[in-house]
Amino acid sequence: MSRRAARAKALQALFAVDLGRMAPERAVEEVLAEEQLSLQAAAFARQLVMGTVTARQELDAIISRYAVGWRLERLAAVDRNILRMALYEMKYCPDTPVSVIINEAIELAKTFNDEEAGRFVNGLLDTARKELGR
């Protein structure tokens, strides 16, 4: 299974952590148990979830700076978690091209929310990219 599928599974786990108040380790295990991922894809999904949860305060601060007119808790939960995960990957996974990270985040937003969410995610990540030096 691809990194795209791993990102989708990671997003589902992050959503469960954020809204369901589930422990990150349990959320990852439950989401990964639903579908067979390659060992590499499962490890990537786990890295995204655990890294995003660990860096959450830092990532939320970045989102808050660029989500002009929006309080973090007012963002759609799916968008908030897509942004957190993409910012984590942009900041801590330098081997992944930033264009890939942003495109994947846009596709997740359009899949799990709508076209407008994709535009919002694109705009915020593109602006934050400059701050992160990517």
Q: What is the pLDDT of residues 24-36, one digit of tens each?
A: 999 999 999 987 8
Asked which of 31-45, 53-67, 79-93, 101-115 is least confident by mean pLDDT, the reply is 31-45
Q: Enter the tokens of residue 75.
A: 């963002």
Give residue 35's pLDDT: 76
Dihedral angle sign, alpha carbons of residues 12, 14, 18, 22: positive
Between CA 7 and CA 67 the distance in angstroms is 22
Give CA–CA dist 24/30, Å, rounded.
10
Query: Residue 86 is part of a domain; what is its CATH number?
Result: 1.10.940.10
User: How confident is the model over 31-55, as a mean pLDDT?
Assistant: 93
Domain that holds residue 114: 3-131
pLDDT by residue (tens digit) across 11-28?
A: 999 999 999 999 999 999
At 41, list the tokens: 């894809």
Domain count, the chain: 1
pLDDT band at 66 (very low <50, low <70, confident <90, very high): very high
